[in-house]
Amino acid sequence: MHIALWIVQALLAFAFLMAGGMKMGAPIEDLLANGMTFVEWTPAAVVRFIGAAEFAGALGLILPSVLRIQPKLTPIAAGALAFVMVLAAGSHVMHDEMGALGAPIVLGLLSAFVAWGRWSKAPISPR
């Protein structure tokens, strides 16, 4: 379980670092051109905030556990990312974008798995 959680944490961290970094730094027009249609109706500041939240969550998936400093923050970060993905899925449903539901559902379920696993099944001990 410990190894499976580390693999999922690493994959999620990579995905959220990439997605969050893009939302934080790329021009809004580029995001729209890359298929992120939600930027049409979302204020730019909110898009940047979502990117920062995803980026911070990605760091929270890895750093507390690797450094073993406050490792209980890892399941909290994973749970927060799962919640962000619930909101993303809801946004896609509200805007009738059913084809875009796959990524938030998969990322949300994997994030919930890490939150559950690191909280109860294979927690990491602090130093």
SS (H, E, C) 57-105: HHHHHHHHHHHCCCCCHHHHHHHHHHHHHHHHHHHHHHCCCHHHCHHHH
* Domain parsing of the chain, residue ranges: 2-121
pTM > 0.85: yes
The predicted pLDDT at position 85 comes to: 98
Q: What is the mean pLDDT of the chain?
A: 96
pLDDT at position 39: 92
**What would the pLDDT profile of 92-110 be if each residue is shown by its tens digit?**
999 999 999 999 999 999 9
What is the pLDDT, as a whole number, of residue 18? 97
| pLDDT of res. 88 | 95
pLDDT digits (tens, 9 = 90+) for 57-76: 999 999 999 999 999 999 99
